[in-house]
A and B are shown apart, each in its own frame.
Chain A
Amino acid sequence: MAAVLSARLVVERDGFLLDVSIEAAAGEVVALLGPNGAGKTTALRALAGLVRLSRGEIVLDGEAIHEHPAERRSVGMVFQDYLLFPHLSALDNVAFGPRCQGTPKARARDQARDWLERVGLGAHLHARPRELSGGQAQRVALARALAVRPRLLLLDEPLAALDAHTRLEVRAGLRRHLEDFGGATVLVTHDPLDAMVLADRLVVVENGAIVQQGSPAEVARQPRTDYVARLVGLNLYRGVAAGHRVTIAGALTLSAAEELSGPVFVAFPPSAVALFRTRPDGTPRNTWAATIAGVERHGDQFRVSLDGPLSVSADVTAAAVADLGLLPAQEVWVAVKATETHAYPA
């Protein structure tokens, strides 16, 4: 598919530099994922025309739009706080865009009615934004952005303002609408689940730069930064491989399942980590002594964080915690099966 959106965004502001290149094809959903302050929202606002580019360009459907003001770009945006006009009903909110495009009032309202019915809010046409629930407001905001028939749809943390239960339903609905949308979509999120469910491609942004891109599955399987690793719940380390042996930070040598050489990442899930009172003598090749730093509930299990040559997270059952009497500052032995590790080139 030929790219619909091709942008290089460079924004320098208050000592912060954002320099990312983003591409999206028609019908593709690209998620910008990253910690707070990484610059994802700035990138989105630059695409919308609300932030000026210091350098770079934005090309949408072959047209260079980076010099155009926001109102001349064929862009629809859903804001984190929805920003529905408080003095207009849901119907008039959605009709606002078409009317700005020159559509007569009556026809714009008909179009708005269609959109609102499509997102399942046909019964709330005349409600004011303050009368809507969070989930309903989110859908109105989406309908409002889609009603202008944009070529590029931008979503800024679309589900952040919702509680966990509403988020489940709305996420599913949003996925359907994004699939129906024919243009390119760029969405910003810090929730990995949003990214996994909604996105065709993930772009991880940290400190104003892209640190990893790929499909959600690729990124989850092979995280390249601590942030992503934490996000997907893996233990991640950088080291140097020589065959099956990986030396990490010059401190510890792990046995890996793959055979590689040169700089590598090694990742394994907390569930692959076993804890022993005494030094184990068995098949696991990777064992070392560590000190317990903390024990926390994690779902119906416990996550133990350990200090030592490597900082590791281990998932153990409640029974195990009780049996072993696992407490902070206690010394234990850590073992990780090589077959459960995953090494890949850095």
Chain B
Amino acid sequence: MRSFGRRVLGALVAPVLVAGVLATAGCANKDERTLTVFAAASLTESFGALGTAFQASHPGVKVKFNFGSSATLAQQIAQGAPADVFAAASPATMAQSKAPKSRVFARNRLEIAVPKGNPGHVAGLKDLANPSLKVALCAPQVPCGAAAVKALAAGGVTVKPVTLEQDVKATLTKVRLGEVDAALVYRTDVKAAAGAVEGIEFPEAGKAINDYPIATVPKTRQYALSREFIDLVLSDEGRRVLSGAGFTPV
């Protein structure tokens, strides 16, 4: 009899534990509303500032950000991740997220980033072809890398990079640490690095502009709030923040 009781107890323990874990995962404070924004890594600083402004003007609302590689975020959204707003670094990645309607809100252009002091003496795009220089690029599968491919082709420059990083922030880190002599990153990234790296503009960048679209995620539960956030991004305040970061607002 005793062992029977133990077996029943044992059979009950596991499901109870699992149910408990699931229950706590779903808990949320019903009074507070949360807006979840998935955005490309290059929007970290600007959207961060806009999020704070949004929270100030919407008491009781919390804005949660998920910054990262646009492609990864797009896939997560396509698989049902709980996002309300998605801002991507390219129309291609926006399409991956299967959001039906989107609108371009900013443009970004590439810049050559070099470590402080420009140890490789880089002046323009052609210098990147110098075999004695270590150059980092974004991987062509990510928006920043696709733009780099276009820009290099436009300039007729062949570069053998030492690494193809998985997102633009990682590429910038290599420059910051002085591990590479140059990299192609966004202008906004150079600005955000605030003096840790130097930026060199180059004319061919105009041939590879990245359009940044923004959209409400189809399955969102905060439709009204998402629209309000997008309105903020498109507003004068939003445009000011974006151009301050180095974007070209649309």
Whether the complex brings A and B within 8 Å at their CB atoms is answered: no
B residues engaging A (CB < 8 A)? Answer: none
